Structure 1
Amino acid sequence: MRTFLQRAADRLHAIEDHLTVRTQIAAAVAAMSILLVGTLAAGAALISYRHTAALVESSLAGIASATSGRLDRFMATRQQEMKLFAELEPTQRLWQGDPNELRSALEALQHSFEFTWIGFADVNGNVVAGTGGLLQGKSVTARPWFKQGLEKVVIGDVHEAIMLASLLTQRANNEPYRFVDIAVPVRDKSGKVLGVLGGHLDWAWATNLIKDVEANDGNTDTRLTILSKGGMVLVGPQRETIRYGGDELAGILNARNGTFRETTDGRQLLTAFHVGDGYRDYQGLNWIVTASQPASVALAAAISSAQTILAIGAVIALIALSLAVLVSRRIAAPIIAITREADRIGRAHGPTMLARQSGSAEVVQLSRALRSLLRRIGMAEERTKEAELRATENAMQLQEDMLKLRHLADTDFMTGLMNRRSFLTVADDAVAYCRRYKRNMATLMIDIDHFKKINDTHGHAAGDDAIKSIADIISQSIRTTDKAARFGGEEFVVLLREIDQETAILLAERIRTSIAAATVRHGGTVIPVTVSVGLALFDESDRDVQDVIERADQGLYVAKKTGRNRVFMMPATDERAARAA
């Protein structure tokens, strides 16, 4: 390949030697004109494409945002209606009065405010009155809306109500009923809770809302979908399936709104999303509204605009090619004059002597440039020394940066403990040392009890605070010769060097009790946290550190199964006869 390129370059030089200056200038001007015009045309086409695409994305984002707002306003209105009815002074006498009169009032509320069912349950969970007589006399103590509604106004996410659905007329399309619950505590004038006013909204209203928006999309083939905060489709294609999950879902919930491209059923879609933020007193359920268009439809105008601009650029490039020939004549004249003067100067004064010349701006500039050449050589030597010094400084900086990067690669980003890779490297060396010099070592596997419950109850940010607090307690509890790492999620591993069984058990218990006694706070909330610990001592029969870690993990499993918040040591015996530490 190198030989071929060299031959091509030699051939090009041979051609240049046979071309006049005028011809070379014409070719150069033409090439530059075509390149410039082509670049400008391509750039303009790209800008036009991106601008048009941005307009489409903005339109989709507006549709998603407006639809999400309509959902939130609808739910806020229904919530306010229920709350106002529960607090109206004329209705106070009904709660403990005639059930039939209360039922009539609830049915009037149902007809006015679009509820499928409204009922009042006393503090014992018995439905005193319900619209249409449905569920009247039934117990709803196990229903989440009742239990939470005793304390505050609550709105439950979309779900199927099997008991109520069995009492309603079957739909023509045999689709199951799905409801959104609204529950409001009912209090007397003294503030005493009398019961819960609960209402079920038929989720079909959301489907009708989406159909209405899609029917008025201006023939853009826009498709809308409503998803739960867990990524499950509530309204739209492939309903009750998970559309987004993992990091993709987390990114959507964190961003709250935005656009992206995705591929579904072999079609590339341009998708905008908006996560509901609630409205007034209604806090929202983090419903995700997406608006999607096929990329072929959404970007058709952008592609057409880009093609038009490229076509105009091609025409301009042809015109520039024609003008290049004319321009070359004017450019060639002064260059030829400079060439003749340079030849004369070389013959008159030799290669190192340059006389001052005049006659044109180009010649004067060339004369000055050549005369200053020798002076710049000296300056170039000084700059070379400065460049060498800077290179040395850059090398030192690079070495420092590499050390920082190596530290980051070996450290867990959240806790500052070692990560799995760096820990296993250190642990392998420790096992080799213990085997060679007949030393003792132990491994602890530590796992947070009920960590999923912490995340579900207080949020993932609270879970992160718990992980950081426990990591700090572990770091403060071990010796400087010991090593601690986060193995992922809520699981930690500790390597204890030069330690016997009794000391290892005492240290494990100290870590466990310190964590149980610690106060983990998230905002103004105190989160109780405990851990289970599995302990294993190094044995000569262990092949490597993985055997010790696996045995400690078995001990952790036993600790979890036998009550949690305890330490369990797994001996290195074939029978795995265990004893609690």
Structure 2
Amino acid sequence: MKTLLRQAVDRLHAIEDHLTVRTQIAAAVAAMSIVLVGVLAVGAAFISYRNTSALIESSLAGIASSASGRLDRFMATRQQEMKLFAELQPMQAQWQGDPAALRSSLEDVQRSFSEFAWIGFADVQGNVVASTGGLLQGKSVGARPWFKQGLDRLAVGDVHEAVLLSSLLTQRANNEPYRFVDIAVPVHDAGGKLLGVLGGHLDWNWASNLIKDVEANDGNTDTRLSILSKGGMVLLGPQKETIRYGGDELAAIVKAGIGTFREADDGQQMLTAFHVGRGHRDYQGLNWIVTASQPASVALAAAMSSAQTILAIGAATALIALSLAMLVSRRIASPIIALTREADRIGRAHGPTMLARQSGSAEVVQLSRALRSLLRRIGLAEERTKEAELRATENAMQFQEDMLRLRQLAETDFMTGLMNRRSFLSVADDAVAFCRRYKRQMATLMIDIDHFKKINDTHGHAAGDDAIKSIADIIGQSIRTTDKAARFGGEEFVVLLREIDQQTAVLLADRIRTSIESATVRHGDVVIPITVSVGLAMFDESDRDVQDVIERADQGLYVAKKTGRNRTFLMPADDERAARAA
């Protein structure tokens, strides 16, 4: 190590012996100016960046806090409205009076507070006495969580889907499923006796409108708002109904209540602020977490601009100092300056791409020759690189097109455009795992065309193909976007219905069957009458995998075929367990 250090010192002395004092002074002044100005500029830029970042984070946290506060205030107002209505003195005579008069009063409330998709009164046994629009009237809601909680206290339930109520409401234009927030209030008579529960379902769409309003007034900062449950699931926003945070990360967010952090989203750095709603006045809150996120490149643009401005000022100052130093050694350094300008001009303007020869000293001549040689080699390498890049781009584009075509062929049925068996089973396995983990419901339909061979024999295979395509179109139009349909081969179709109870599944299956029966299928000038038989099976905890559910639905299809065709048969899970035991 000492030997290397000594050699370096000797080399430095040798260089100094070949430099004039004027050159050494100019170099020293220029070096010191650049170092000092550079350190000051970088320090000032760092301080400015840090302070501006803090302001941006505070602003983002304010957006999240404001949105969270509006959510809590809205819920507090709706809760207070329901409570006041339940305690109104004029209503005391209606709770046990004429259901028609009570329904009229409930509908008056709904017209005043349009956020309520449904308001109803259920007696202590859970039977709906009166409700807006007559929906669920006469039905039992005794098993619903909101009713059970409402018997004891004023209760607010978290966001959920109500499948039965959603099926009775008008379907939205975008096919978006209804989601509700429940408010339940116990109703007592003048003597304090419990008469029942007043329940209201708030359409969760109001929260979406609130978020859109906040995002529309974010000052063009591309702020993205999300609402998460206390369990970390996205209730509203990108990646809806997925777990965004969990474990220690979620616990830290809930504990802090408000704050900011950075995270990666699809490879993009995001600056995220959060605020945990703690309620408002009498409303205890559901601990909804409101997050406000901006791309770091957008959120910190002002900070970057400030830092760049300071660095630019520092660079300008350094250039001025360098110019002064160069003036001192102008005569000695003029060839080098000319050579530098020529090199800087290359690539910036049209014209020659080669340095002009320079003279003035042996070093300048040697440097000029070396740079000209280097530029010739770089030019050749650039040409070869461009050719290679062009070939690589063409190959990559062709590969992507081939992969897209292969993926489409591998995952869809060529005739109907529905999923094929392989892609359907992959999706169905995931659905079964989800249902088993979160205790959700799922149904499977097995649909088969009645007397399909007769259609082929009578009208030809082309007519059979038209029948298959028509039935595939009817199935696709009848199910929700969250459901999946596949053609398993021949005239057999399978449908996966997610988040659905048995009653609704039976209604949907029969609706598909009747739609096919009433459809007009033409082959040329011939009208082909078509009916189908449907086997239905609900997911059961004892099912080992999705094949068990499909097999049970197939057994139901067999029963439907044997008992007259053109009908739907629900195959209970108990029958299959008995068959396995045997």
Scaled by the length of structure 1, what TM-score is found? 0.53
| 1:196 paired to 2:197 | yes
Amino acid at match of 1:176: P
Corresponding position of 2:396 = none
Corresponding position of 1:150 = 151
Report the alpha carbon displacement of residue 210 of structure 1 after superposing the two structures with TM.
1.3
1:1-30 superposed Cα distances (whole Å, 9 cap, x missing partner): 775444213433566799999998886665
Q: Percentage identity across aligned positions?
A: 81
Corresponding position of 2:111 = 111
Distance 1:321 1:147, change over 3 A: same
Corresponding position of 1:175 = 176
Equivalent positions of 1:551-562 (< 5 A) are none
Query: 2:96, 2:119 → 1: CA distance?
Result: 17
Corresponding position of 2:101 = 101
Equivalent positions of 1:430-449 (< 5 A) are none
Query: 2:127, 2:306 → 1: CA distance?
Result: 67
Query: 1:163, 1:226 → 2: CA distance?
Result: 25
1:328-363 superposed Cα distances (whole Å, 9 cap, x missing partner): xxxxxxxxxxxxxxxxxxxxxxxxxxxxxxxxxxxx
CA contact (8 A) 1:179 1:201 kept: yes
CA contact (8 A) 1:226 1:290 kept: yes
Corresponding position of 1:310 = 311
Amino acid at match of 1:315: A
Amino acid at match of 1:43: G
**114-123 vs 188-197, which deviates more?**
188-197
1:161-185 superposed Cα distances (whole Å, 9 cap, x missing partner): 1221122112222221100000011
Report the alpha carbon displacement of residue 285 of structure 1 after superposing the two structures with TM.
0.8
1:462-483 superposed Cα distances (whole Å, 9 cap, x missing partner): xxxxxxxxxxxxxxxxxxxxxx
Aligned partner of residue 186 in structure 2, secondary structure: strand
Aligned partner of residue 136 in structure 2, secondary structure: coil
Distance 1:271 1:128, change over 3 A: same
Corresponding position of 2:207 = 206
Query: 1:240, 1:325 → 2: CA distance?
Result: 66
| 1:300 paired to 2:292 | no
Corresponding position of 1:72 = 72
Report the alpha carbon displacement of residue 266 of structure 1 after superposing the two structures with TM.
2.1
Distance 1:24 1:85, change over 3 A: same
Corresponding position of 2:7 = 7
Query: 2:31, 2:224 → 1: CA distance?
Result: 48
Query: 1:188, 1:180 → 2: CA distance?
Result: 26
Amino acid at match of 1:121: A
Report the alpha carbon displacement of residue 88 of structure 1 after superposing the two structures with TM.
1.2
Equivalent positions of 1:363-378 (< 5 A) are none
Corresponding position of 2:138 = 137
Aligned partner of residue 62 in structure 1, secondary structure: helix
CA RMSD, Structure 1 to Structure 2 (Å): 2.7
Q: Show structure 2 runs of 5+ residues with no match.
A: 329-582
1:15-65 superposed Cα distances (whole Å, 9 cap, x missing partner): 679999999888666544432221111111112222222222222111111
Equivalent positions of 1:446-461 (< 5 A) are none
Query: 1:26, 1:192 → 2: CA distance?
Result: 99
Query: 1:321, 1:294 → 2: CA distance?
Result: 39
Aligned partner of residue 168 in structure 2, secondary structure: coil
Query: 2:208, 2:175 → 1: CA distance?
Result: 16
Aligned partner of residue 166 in structure 1, secondary structure: helix
Equivalent positions of 1:392-407 (< 5 A) are none
Amino acid at match of 2:171: Q
Amino acid at match of 1:191: G
Corresponding position of 1:37 = 37
Amino acid at match of 1:44: A
Report the alpha carbon displacement of residue 299 of structure 1 after superposing the two structures with TM.
2.1
Amino acid at match of 2:296: A
Report the alpha carbon displacement of residue 190 of structure 1 after superposing the two structures with TM.
2.5
Amino acid at match of 1:264: D
Aligned partner of residue 314 in structure 1, secondary structure: helix
Report the alpha carbon displacement of residue 101 of structure 1 after superposing the two structures with TM.
1.2
Query: 1:15, 1:65 → 2: CA distance?
Result: 65
Report the alpha carbon displacement of residue 191 of structure 1 after superposing the two structures with TM.
2.1
Report the alpha carbon displacement of residue 324 of structure 1 after superposing the two structures with TM.
7.7
CA contact (8 A) 1:276 1:288 kept: yes
Report the alpha carbon displacement of residue 112 of structure 1 after superposing the two structures with TM.
0.8
CA contact (8 A) 1:261 1:269 kept: yes
The number of residue pairs the alignment matches comes to: 328
Corresponding position of 1:53 = 53
Query: 1:10, 1:161 → 2: CA distance?
Result: 86
Distance 1:106 1:25, change over 3 A: same
CA contact (8 A) 1:81 1:113 kept: no
| 1:81 paired to 2:81 | yes
Aligned partner of residue 50 in structure 2, secondary structure: helix
Corresponding position of 1:125 = 126
Query: 2:122, 2:169 → 1: CA distance?
Result: 19
Report the alpha carbon displacement of residue 257 of structure 1 after superposing the two structures with TM.
1.3
Amino acid at match of 2:93: R
Aligned partner of residue 90 in structure 1, secondary structure: helix
Corresponding position of 1:331 = none
Aligned partner of residue 40 in structure 1, secondary structure: helix
Report the alpha carbon displacement of residue 77 of structure 1 after superposing the two structures with TM.
0.4
| 1:227 paired to 2:203 | no
Query: 1:193, 1:6 → 2: CA distance?
Result: 98
Corresponding position of 1:526 = none
Query: 2:299, 2:247 → 1: CA distance?
Result: 28
Query: 1:19, 1:172 → 2: CA distance?
Result: 82
Amino acid at match of 2:140: S
Query: 1:3, 1:136 → 2: CA distance?
Result: 98
Amino acid at match of 2:181: V
Equivalent positions of 1:274-285 (< 5 A) are 274-285=275-286
Amino acid at match of 1:98: D
Aligned partner of residue 218 in structure 2, secondary structure: coil
Query: 2:12, 2:110 → 1: CA distance?
Result: 89
| 1:265 paired to 2:266 | yes
Query: 1:235, 1:38 → 2: CA distance?
Result: 47
**222-231 vs 20-29, which deviates more?**
20-29
Corresponding position of 1:161 = 162
Equivalent positions of 1:404-553 (< 5 A) are none
Report the alpha carbon displacement of residue 270 of structure 1 after superposing the two structures with TM.
1.5
Aligned partner of residue 172 in structure 2, secondary structure: coil
Report the alpha carbon displacement of residue 309 of structure 1 after superposing the two structures with TM.
1.0
Query: 2:227, 2:177 → 1: CA distance?
Result: 18
Corresponding position of 2:494 = none
Task: Pick the structure with greater CA Rg.
Answer: 1
Aligned partner of residue 116 in structure 1, secondary structure: strand
Query: 1:198, 1:2 → 2: CA distance?
Result: 87
| 1:187 paired to 2:188 | yes
Amino acid at match of 1:120: F
